[in-house]
Amino acid sequence: MAANRSPHLNIMIRAAEKAARSLIRDFGEVENLQVSSKGPGDFVSAADIRAEEIIHEELSKACPKYGFVMEESGIKKGEDEDYNWIVDPLDGTTNFLHGIPHWAISIALEHKGEIISGLVYDPIKDDMFHADKNEGAYMRRRRLRVSGRSDLTHSMIATGSPRGRAESKTQFIKEYEAVMNVTPGLRRFGAAALDLAYVAAGRYEGFWERDLKIWDIAAGIIIVKEAGGFICDIDNDRANPLKTCSILAANGEILNPLKKVIRAVGTPAPSL
C-alpha cells in the first residue's frame, strides 16, 4: 500500500534529505567538528547547527508564516500561530560525535497543539519513517505496523538513561532492573526518535524514557500512533507526554503490563 503523503510531509522530506547530506559530510569528518557542552552529557556541534539552519531555511521557504520550536535555536513565533514546526536536527548527537552510525533527523508539524505530521530520518541506513494524521505510518512506501507480540517475556524493550540529577539516575536504575527481570533483554541505543520509530516498525515492543524534550518525541508520537501503537505518560494516564516529556510507547498488548512493571517501582522524587 503506497503512502498518501500530505504536502506538508513532502516539504519535511525535502528538508530532511537536504540536511542529511550536510550531516553525512560532517560525520565523515567528525574529529574536526567544533563541539560545546550544553550541560552534563549534553553536547552541540557545528553539525547540529548547520543541519538546523538548513531545515529552518527549507521549511520557511515553503511555509513562511509558520512558527518553529527548535533544539538549538529555540522558539521562533510565526505569523500563523496555529502551526509550528518542531525540529531536532540531530537526535543522537553523542553517538554522532563518537562515530556511531545511529542518529536521526526529527521533524514534526503541530497544529493547534496537536501533532499532525511527523518524520524521523536515519540517513546512514536510509530509513525514513513518517506519518500524517489518519493516513497511517510508513517507512518510505512500506506500511508500518507495531509488533503483535503479547508477552513481556518474549518482548524487546528499549529505554534511554537520564542526564543530570542523581535522583533521576537512581530512578532509572530501579526501572531498568524491574523491566530487565521480566524481559529477555533491554536496548539502550541513544536516540529517542529512532526508538519510537522502531516501536512503530515492530522492531521493539515498547520503549520508555523520562526527561526528554518535545523535539525528541513529537515526530515519533504520531508515527507510533499511526502504526497502531499507544503512547502515554510514564506515571499518569491523564498527563500529556508532549508536555511532560516522560513517555512510554508500546503495542496494545504490551502497554499495560509494561506500565505496571515500571509504575510498581514508584514515582521519582520531584525536582528541587
Helix (H) or strand (E) holding 37: strand 35-39
1 within a domain of the structure (yes/no): no
Judge whether 258 and 152 are in contact, CB under 8 Å: yes
In this structure, the answer to whether residues 16 and 136 fall within a common structural domain is: yes
96 within a domain of the structure (yes/no): yes
**Number of structural domains the chain divides into:** 2
272 within a domain of the structure (yes/no): no
What pLDDT is recorded for position 272?
A: 42
Q: What pLDDT, in 10s, does the model give residues 25-70?
A: 988 887 777 676 554 444 567 888 999 999 999 999 999 999 999 9
Judge whether 156 and 184 are in contact, CB under 8 Å: yes
Question: How many Cα neighbours within 13 Å face the side chain of 260?
Answer: 7
Last residue in a domain, options 78, 110, 143 = 143
What is the strand order of the sheet 230-233 is part of?
185-187, 156-159, 206-209, 247-250, 230-233
CATH of the domain at 243: 3.40.190.80
User: What are the grid coordinates assigned to 52, written together?
Assistant: 538546523
Mean pLDDT estimate for the chain:
92
- What residues make up the domain containing 45? 7-143
In this structure, the answer to whether residues 77 and 165 fall within a common structural domain is: no
What pLDDT is recorded for position 34?
A: 66
Residue ranges in the chain whose pLDDT is less than 70: 1-3, 34, 36-44, 164, 268-272
Count of C-beta atoms within a 10 Å radius of residue 239? 13
CATH of the domain at 63: 3.30.540.10
In this structure, the answer to whether residues 186 and 131 fall within a common structural domain is: no
What pLDDT is recorded for position 41?
A: 47
Cβ neighbours of residue 87 closer than 8 Å, sequence gap 6 or more = 52, 55, 56, 59, 68, 69, 70, 71, 106, 107, 215
